Chains A and B, each alone.
Chain A
Amino acid sequence: MPGLYSSNSEVDLDRHDYLHESSPEAHGKLLLHDLLDISPILSEAAGAIVDDSFTRCFKSNPPEPWNWNVYLFPLWCLGVLTRYVVLFPLRVVLLFAGWLIFLPSFSLVHFLLRKNDKLRRQLERYLVEFICSVFVASWTGVVKYHGPRPSMRPKQVFVANHTSMIDFIILEQMTAFAVIMQKHAGWVGLLQSTILESLGCIWFNRTEAKDREIVVKKMKEHVEGTDNNPLLVFPEGTCVNNEYTVMFKKTPFELDCTVCPIAIKYNKIFVDAFWNSKKQSFTNHLLRLMTSWAVVCDVWYLEPQTLKPGETPIQFAERVRDIIAVRAGIKKVPWNGYWKHERPNPKHSEQKQQGFAESVLRRLQER
């Protein structure tokens, strides 16, 4: 006998349960058996306990160890030595030299060219692109860019999948984007409030609910300005392990402008670039990258998309997420990335409850 649970067809995509298979509409008189048989719901709960797609998004899969025998092991030791004793110091020196050039130049330009705004901003852009290239070189980043480079035009926003803060640096070395970021503490926060501020970056605080409206307003103003740096957004809202994408926030898709998708895929053979902010600080993450052989990745600048007639911003977001996921070869999951930091609202179970309630009440009338 078919169960009482069926999926709602008209549903807000934000809460759409992709995983719930639509069971056939239950018919016939309501019997005690129908009420007591909770087996499908229990199966779903047990399924979630045994394996769930959300946890899989944030798992770093360690590579298979290959250094386990007599000739591979010394080779591996030699590799470790080279990476830590030769490469790492060279990279640190490079990074240091880069900052030595950048900091005074940036300060000079920022303070001396106060009057000449246009020139100042152009120079600041070049300098930021320069220091990002230094960063990328400091972990021997081998980046292959595909597709036309972003142009500076108003009414466009760039969106990309997110794996680590280095995504921003990799994209920034090519184009000085203004990015929208979570405000951090420590030295990263310092960088944010000084240098990134000059690029026109927008800050937000995940924990503040009211914040969203302010941020949307700022974003709208930014994309409308002709002189502003192109805006880059990571709509997932959190770092994911580059094998999955979580749901995109709809904010960048309701700004009434063109959305240019960017797909980023890291090659795991060299290093796993996923930054699990719950497990390590950004400093540790950087140190790990700097003691690896290289960070190899592909960046695809994809065709700009606009809202189709009759499409909601959420559907638009999903369509763009599809484009990025297909290009980068990563899987989509229907979960909200913020649940990594806070518990999901139990209101999400209301969709199921509503379906069940309607079914019961309907069948009660049947004879």
Chain B
Amino acid sequence: MGNTSSMLTQHDIEEVQEHCNNLFSQQEIVSLYERFCQLDKNHGGFISGDEFLTVPEFVVNPLSQRLLRMLDGLNFKDFVAFLAAFSSRATVHQKIEFIFKVYDLDGNGKVTFNDMLDVLRDLAGHFISEQQRKQVLMQVLVEAGYTENSLLVLDDFVKILGMCGVKMEVEVPVD
């Protein structure tokens, strides 16, 4: 599946399906490919940040910049793997793992106080001051048994978020 091909073979589809742990059906993968090609306007084989930013619904999302850092330069296979967490077939654990990755952008397996502050800043914008942000985060962390210096790992996230289930799903339109 080269950068320039615009047709998916059965072999390509199966390869992509394996790469995303069978979380998407073959039809969904074909639909996603159409969408990928639609967004990849200059046919570079990957969707650049600028190309994602032509979708107004994406631009107005508070976490768009953070997600762009994860999405930039992904080829189709990785694009599908990225979206796999949103499949209805994905487990709660897989969804929590995705959320963890959004926090842990540098990928070292640990989420710091600052990582959480960053996300909180994206979510609340300038409507909460820096001071208040730190205060809020501190308060809820301490109540949950952590401190400012705690480094949260995936298991912590599973413990915190797993209790109430995580609803994170997107439907891939299939013709």
CB <8 Å contact, B116 and A52: no
Q: Does any Cβ of A come within 8 Å of B75's Cβ?
A: no
Interface centre among B61, B116, B120, B173 (most CB of A within 10 A): B61
- Check if A107 is an interface residue, CB within 8 A of chain B: no
Let me know if A221 is at the binding interface, CB within 8 A: no
Closest Cβ neighbor of B95 among chain A residues: A39
Interface residues of A in 328-344 (CB under 8 A from B): 335-336, 339, 343-344
Please measure, in the bound complex, the distance between the C-alpha atom of A339 and the C-alpha atom of B55, giving whole angstroms.
Answer: 9
Question: Is B38 in contact with chain A by the CB < 8 A criterion?
Answer: yes
Report whether over half of chain A's contact residues are helix, strand or loop; otherwise say mixed.
helix
Task: Let me know if B157 and A45 touch, CB within 8 A.
Answer: no
Q: Report if A46-B140 is in contact (Cβ < 8 Å); known contacts: A35-B116, A52-B56.
A: no
Residues of B within 8 A of A358 (CB): 127
Q: Report Cα–Cα, A51/B103, bound state, in Å.
A: 25
Closest chain A residue, CB of each to CB of B59: A344
Contact B62 A353 (CB under 8 A): yes
B83 → A minimal CB distance (Å): 6
Task: Give min CB distance, A108 to chain B, whole Å.
Answer: 49
Contacts of B55 in A (CB 8 A): 48-49, 52, 54-55
A42-B63, A48-B55, A344-B56 given as contacts; is B38 within 8 A of A55 (CB)?
A: yes
Interchain CB contact under 8 A, B163 and A356:
no
Q: Which residue of B lies closest to A35 (CB)?
A: B140
Using known A-B contacts A35-B116, A348-B59, A358-B127, determine if residue A43 contacts B168 with beta carbons closer than 8 Å: yes
Give every chain B residue within 8 A of A46 (Cβ-Cβ). Answer: 83, 86, 168, 170
Selected from A1, A53, A356, the residue in CB contact (under 8 A) with B57 is: A53
Does B153 touch A at the CB level, under 8 Å? Answer: no
| A361: interface (CB < 8 Å) | yes
How many residues of chain B are within 8 Å of chain A by beta carbon?
Answer: 57
C-alpha spacing A34/B62, complex, angstroms: 16
Q: In the complex, which residues of chain B have a beta carbon less than 8 angstroms from the beta carbon of A54?
A: 55-57
- Which of the listed residues B55, B63, B116, B139 has the most CB atoms from chain A within 10 Å of its own CB? B55
**Given the complex, which residues of B lie within 8 Å of A348, measured CB to CB?**
56, 59-60
Contact B62 A352 (CB under 8 A): yes
Known interface pairs A33-B163, A43-B168, A43-B170; A357-B127 also in contact (CB < 8 Å)? yes
Instruction: State whether A50 and B172 are in contact (beta carbons under 8 Å apart), knowing that A36-B157, A37-B161 are contacts in the complex.
Output: yes
Question: Which residues of A from 1 to 44 have beta carbons under 8 Å from B?
Answer: 1, 17, 19, 30-44
A39 to B169 Cα, complex, angstroms: 9
Q: Does A346 sit at the interface, judged by CB under 8 A? A: yes
Smallest CB-CB separation from A29: which chain B residue? B143
Please state if B127 and A353 are interface contacts (CB–CB under 8 Å).
yes
Among B59, B71, B99, B103, point to the contact of A39 (Cβ < 8 A): B99
Q: A40-B168, A336-B56, A352-B61 are in contact. List 19 more A-B contacts (CB 8 A).
A: A30-B139, A30-B140, A33-B163, A36-B161, A39-B95, A41-B62, A42-B86, A42-B168, A43-B170, A44-B61, A45-B63, A48-B61, A49-B71, A50-B170, A59-B38, A346-B59, A346-B64, A350-B125, A360-B124
Residues of A within 8 A of B (CB): 1, 17, 19, 30-55, 59, 335-336, 339, 343-344, 346, 348-350, 352-354, 356-358, 360-361, 364
